[in-house]
Amino acid sequence: MNKVALITGITGQDGSYLSEFLLTKGYEVHGVVRRSSLINTNRIDHLFDPEDRTKIHYGDLGDGSIEDIIFNVKPDEIYNIGSMSHVSVSFKIPEYTGDITGLGVLRVLEAVRRGRELGILKKDVKFYQASSSEMFGLTPPPQNESTVFNPVSPYGCAKCYGYYITRTYRKGYGIFAVNGILFNHESPRRGMRFVTRKITRAAARIKLGLQDKLTLGNLSAKRDWGHSKDYVRAMWMMLQHDKPEDWVVSTQDQYSVKEFLYTVFKKLDLDVDKYVVLDDICKRPNDVPSLLGDSTKIRTVLGWKPEISYEELVDEMIANDLKLAKQEKLIKEGE
């Protein structure tokens, strides 16, 4: 009998790649989608029969609907990837961020606890929590599972709550609950508000004459950037381990936003000084200067390692955004 997985945030970058990965493993995959006026399932439309939406469940981490979904699906594995995931935006909507990114984790765990207690869910149901390197905040790198958290954004603070409540339910109720402390991971499916995708999309549009300028904020921030495909594989591996633990996932390499910017513009033969404008309006009230993960534990214990290099990641994102820009230009020329 196939395992059943439930993914919150299934329409996002990680949710779509995780769905693809689990389907190759023979899982029956279900996903939670927020009901909105706009249909935002483009990342997963190729995975589910449009005539059969029984595996897509409308719900929200902000209310009790998530418990109903979990009880109905009766999953073997739950991947809680859904959250308000943009650090800069979290400063604009801090209360909402705390509710969804923080308390949303509690709502899922409470549903698991109650479901096990009532006999609705299996005792060995497994839970994955998408924790974040933003929890480390101002703590100097390298950062691993023993590093002290020091968050400086509403998003980072909310993720810390999710991390600790996951550990609390693991210890207090014996739930197989793990934290994956993932460092930055990107792909062509990254949201356009995130800096890497903002850069590759703008560069492609500038190259094709569709855009004149790219406005950015802090270029000095350094990040450990991997590919989402590698990181969702790590999520699954954590739940296949014989005991629930917490794991850092990273490439153990680091580049600044400036280095990423110059790499992209160089590959497209564009002059950064000609097209890039710096504006303080794009800066965060607080920013994390340097994140660099030490993922020795998951490499040693689970045998995980990234398979897609930084250069391959950048090339893939550029190729995707050039393709989209060319399509956009054809539409404009046909108007």
Q: CB of 102 within 8 A of CB of 126?
A: no
- Among residues 16, 17, 133, 134, which one is catalytic? 134
Let me know if 96 is a catalytic residue.
no
Structure token digits, residue 207? 């190259």
Taking the C-alpha atoms of residue 148 and residue 238, their distance in angstroms, rounded to an integer, is 22
Terminal Cα distance for the chain, rounded: 53
- Among residues 27, 79, 128, 155, which one is catalytic? 155
Let me know if 155 is a catalytic residue.
yes
SS3 32: strand
Q: CB of 251 within 8 A of CB of 306?
A: yes
- Sequence-ordered alpha helix ranges (H) in the chain: 13-24, 65-73, 87-92, 94-97, 104-118, 154-173, 195-207, 228-240, 257-267, 272-275, 296-301, 310-334
Structure token digits, residue 321? 């955004």
Let me know if 79 is a catalytic residue.
no
- Among residues 132, 250, 290, 295, which one is catalytic? 132
Residues designated catalytic: 132, 134, 155
